[in-house]
Every structure is written in structure tokens, then in C-alpha cells.
Amino acid sequence: MADVWLGSHTLRSHGAKVARIHLHDWLILILLVIIDGLLNLIEPFHRFVGQGMMTDLSYPFKPNTVPVWAVPILAGVLPVAIFSVYYYYRKDVYDLHHAILGLLFSLLATGVITDAIKDAVGRPRPNFFWRCFPDGKAAFDPVTYDVICHGDAHIIKEGYKSFPSGHSSWSFAGLTFLAWYMSGKLRVFDRRGHVAKLCIVLIPVLIAILVGISRVDDYWHHWTDVFAGALIGTIVAAFCYLQFFPYPYETEGWAPHAFFEMLAERTRVQSSGRTNSIRMGEMTDIETAFMAGDPERVCNPEQR
């Protein structure tokens, strides 16, 4: 089955049709982008930070080992590149479109969930002290005993967004989706015991784990922030993948649901065509002539 329709559903032949069918899904993606942008503009909840809490919030304010711009490349560009390589050999626009659409849903839904929780929780980062007091001179309100920050407003704002880790949630959302995708394509769970396939599939997961570890090493997040972000990204990726693809361990786990729906529709059309051919064979000459749109052949039987 995997090679029957090879090269018959390309971007040129079926791309517009597939995109048109899922137009509303792409519109929802745009809505998710807008929502996530608004969540980043909102001022997060400023959780109380007393002097006695500074012990766990006074770690060095270091630069990111994995920059913010690198996360979309690892979680988005890398998977899309692998999807494109598979399309180059398979020529299946259903697989390419649904893989990209599912990946984007995984990333953007994870982003909205993560940023919404960040704003609502307002947990200080481990390096909050140096964000709040860049000169090292702490100041607290004499009545509430809460911090009185005198650092850069944007840096302070980001200092209240520790839980959950956005780097971790995005990395796990994109790379776990890629791991599911590769599992189906490589038929990892075909019960033949090829451990090498499993090792290949675990590479994206390992990259996501290393990104999460870097957040703790850089003192931008507590370990619980990373764990929560990884959990959110993994769960959302699983839901989004299964929305478009079967379980990787299933016999048809190598292609999206839409591919098999298309095959079923084509089979129904062909079966209907064969039925019509049989009926045409049973028609009289007059019926056949009218079906062909040539009534003169009916009026002049000698022409037949």
C-alpha cells in the first residue's frame, strides 16, 4: 500500500485542494498567534517576594545557553526540514500538509498554554534578585515587606515568568511531535526488535531534554518549571499528532488519516464507475446514443 500512489499527490496537483479544505484550521492558527502575542504584552502577576525568600532567588544572571531565537529553529524548522525530505521521496502532499499543520498547532497551542500560566502564576526566576536589584542593593517596602525593584522594567517583568519553562515546553512540543512522526515512518513498533530505529527516534527527545537542562544550568528556571514545561509540551504534541496521524504502532501508522480517507473515496468512485459501465453495457442502442449526446445516431440507424 505504501508505494501504490507514490508520486500521485504532489503540491502542484493536490496542494491547493488540501489547503482549501483546512482553511479554517489555518485561520485558527493565526488566532493562536494573536492570543500568544497578547499574552506576552500582559503584565504578569507579581508574586510576593520577601527578604527571606531571596536565598533561592539570588543566583547569577547569566545569558542563555540556548538563545530564544534558537528554540523555533530546533522545534519548528528542524521538523519541517525532515517533513520536506520525506515529501521529496514520497511525494505525498497529505503527509506534508498535515505534518506541518499538526506541528504548528502543537507549538502554538503549547505557547498559549505556557504563557497563560506564566502570567497567572508570576513565579520569580532563580536570578530574580539581580533582575530586581542590578546594583546589588536590595530594597523592601517597610509595610508589606515586598521587594521594591529598581532595575530595567522589561527584565523585571520577565523575572516573574519562571513557571513553566517556555524553552522546555516549546522544545518538547516540536521535538516530541517529530519523534512521533519518525516512529510512524520508520515503523519503530513493528515488533521486529530493531533497536536502532528506537535510538533514532529518541534523538529529538534527547535534544529537548538538553534544552530543558540548560534552563536550570543558566539559573533561568527552577527544575519544577522545566518539568512542567516538558509535560505540557509532550501532552500537547501527542494530542496534535493523533489528530492527524494514526498511532505509530498501527499497521497504517506510516501515513495521515487523510491519505487513507482519500484512498477510500477513490475506491468508492472507481467502484461506482465500474457499476455504471456494467449498466451501460446493458443499455439499448438508443439509450447509449442519448447518454453520449448524439441524438442523430438514433434518428439515422444506418449510421450506427
233: nearest Cα among 248, 258, 215: 215
Could you give the CA distance from residue 224 to residue 162 in angstroms, rounded to a whole number? Answer: 10
- H helix count then E strand count, the chain: 13, 0
The answer to whether 244 touches 184, Cβ cutoff 8 Å, is: no
The answer to whether 211 touches 193, Cβ cutoff 8 Å, is: no
The answer to whether 203 touches 217, Cβ cutoff 8 Å, is: no
Name the residue type at position 124.
P
Residues with Cβ < 8 Å from 253, sequence gap 6 or more?
183, 184, 187, 189, 245, 246, 247
The answer to whether 58 touches 131, Cβ cutoff 8 Å, is: no
Q: How far apart are the first and last CA of the chain?
A: 44
Residues with Cβ < 8 Å from 8, sequence gap 6 or more?
91
What is the number of residues in the chain? 304
Q: Count Cβ atoms below 10 Å from residue 182 Cβ, excluding itself.
A: 20
Could you give the CA distance from residue 272 to residue 180 in angstroms, rounded to a whole number? Answer: 37
What is the set of active-site residues?
167, 221
**DSSP code at position 56:** G
